[in-house]
Amino acid sequence: MFSKTSLTLIALFIGSASAETIRAKNLGEVFGEHLDLEVVVNGKRELFPLLPGTKCPTGHSCRVRSIGDTTISPMVSSLKNNMKTPLTMSMQWNEFNTNLNTVVNSNDYCTRRGAMTRAAGLAAGVAVATVSKPAYAAETKEVKMGSDTGGLQFIPSKTSICKGDSVKWINNKGGPHNVVFDEDAIPSGVNQEKISMDEQLGEEGDTFVMKFDTPGDYGYYCEPHRGAGMNAMLVVA
Ligand code: CU1
C-alpha cells in the first residue's frame, strides 16, 4: 500500500516523536514556499516536509527549504499523486496537519499510533471519512495458548493493546485450552461472561478473537489449567 521509502519515513517519525521538544518560532506568512516541520528529538533535529502553500502548524517550528534543493520526500510525492483536486487536497492536508500536531504533541502511544496511521492513510490516498473511523487504526495482537514445548502458559503472559483493538488467542500445544476472565480482575462495568469463552479449543490452530473497548487491566486464566498456573494479563490503554 505504501512505498518502502514512505514506510521508512513514517516509522522514523513514529519512533522519534516520543520525547521531542518543539520550539515555537513565528515565520509569518510564507505562502508558496516549501516548509519543513522541525522536531527536536533528544537534541537531534528531524525535518518533516510540508506541501507547498502549507502554513507551519501552530506551536511548531518550521524551516524554509533552501532554493535549489531538489530533495523531495517520498511522502510528499505520494501526497501529490493522490490528491486529485484542490478541494480534497486542502481538506486532506488540514486533516494531515491535525494528525501531525497530535503526533508531535502526544506522548501517549495509542493516540500517536492512531494519528500516524490516519496520516499515513491520507498520504496513501485513503479518504478522510475512512481514516476517521475508529476501526481504521485498530490492531489485533496474538497470544499463544501453550508454549511450543507444551508448557501450560499463555505466551506472552502480558499483552498491551489500545481500546478498540482485538486479541486473537491461538491454540498452540498442550490443549484443550480456553480463555476465562477473572470476575474480580476486570474493569467495573465489563461483562465477564461476554468476553470469556464458553467452550474450549481442542484442535491446534483453533482461535478465539475478542475486541476490547474498555480501558483497564484484565486478568484471565485457562479453565482446565488454572491449577497449573496458566493465567495471564491483558492491559487495555
Ligand atoms: Cu490450558
Q: H helices within the chain, ranges in order?
A: 4-16, 74-82, 86-105, 109-123, 128-131, 192-195
Task: Please name the residue that has the C-alpha cell 491535525.
Answer: 98
Residue 199 grid cell: 467452550
- Mean residue pLDDT of the chain comes to 75
Contacts of 6 (CB under 8 A, 6+ apart): 74, 75, 78, 120, 123, 124
Please give the pLDDT value at position 23. Answer: 30
Distance CA 221, CA 90 (A): 50
> Per-residue pLDDT for 119 more than 90?
no
Residue 74 Cα to ligand 1 midpoint, Å, equals: 48
Average pLDDT of the segment spanning 2-11: 38
* pLDDT category of residue 39 using cuts at 50, 70 and 90: low
Q: Which three cell numbers stand for residue 236?
A: 487495555
How far away, in angstroms, is 191 Cα from ligand 1 center? 22
Task: Report all structural domains of the chain as residue ranges with CATH numbers, in order of start.
Answer: 4-136 (no CATH), 138-236 (2.60.40.420)
pLDDT for residue 214: 97
The pLDDT value recorded for residue 103 is: 74
- Global pTM reads 0.67
**Rounded mean pLDDT, 79-85:** 57
First-to-last alpha carbon distance for the chain, in angstroms, is 28
Q: Locate 96 and state its grid cell.
A: 494531515
**CA distance linking residue 161 with residue 176, whole number of Å:** 25
Q: Which three cell numbers stand for residue 61?
A: 517550528
| Residues labelled as active-site residues | 177, 222, 225, 230
Residue 197 CA to ligand 1 center (angstroms) comes to 12
Alpha carbon of 200 to ligand 1 centroid (Å) = 9
DSSP 146-188: S-TT--SSEESSEEEE-TT-EEEEEE-SS--B--EE-GGGS-T
- pLDDT, position 190: 97
Higher pLDDT, 6 or 25: 6
